[in-house]
Amino acid sequence: DQQVKQNSPSLSVQEGRISILNCDYTNSMFDYFLWYKKYPAEGPTFLISISSIKDKNEDGRFTVFLNKSAKHLSLHIVPSQPGDSAVYFCAASDLGGNQFYFGTGTSLTVIP
């Protein structure tokens, strides 16, 4: 039972343009969300998080938006750079929960 879904396995974007990666979840108890970035042969690295008391969190070129009513979050990367090419995972947990539930990932390719 996949509680966190990333329906786009891949995305290609031109350098300098915006990348938008989407994530949907089914468990309404989830209240903390994270994005991880993964390069080949490396472990995932934490990118940005958001709690359910917010609907937006920014960190430099990365912004995460949360729409609780739609159970949807998105990661915006502006401007996209070739070094952003990686697999991006979203993850979620609930208050008092002990684990993160990961999506299946979206492979982003930024074309120079």
> How far, CA to CA in Å, does 17 sit from each of 6, 22, 38, 73, 91?
21, 16, 21, 20, 25
Report the alpha-carbon distance of residue 111 to residue 84 in Å, rounded.
10
Which of 1, 53, 60, 98 is the binder for another protein (CB under 8 A)?
98
Q: Can you read off the two tokens belonging to residue 74?
A: 């998105």
95 binds another protein (CB under 8 A): yes
Length of the chain measured in residues: 112
State the minimum distance, in angstroms, from the CB of residue 65 to another protein. 18
Which of 22, 27, 49, 57 is the binder for another protein (CB under 8 A)?
49
3-state DSSP assignment of residue 82:
helix
When the beta carbons of 15 and 57 are compared against another protein, the nearer one is 57
When the beta carbons of 65 and 102 are compared against another protein, the nearer one is 102
Contact positions vs another protein (CB under 8 A): 4, 6, 32, 34, 36, 41-46, 49, 89, 91, 93, 95-100, 102-105
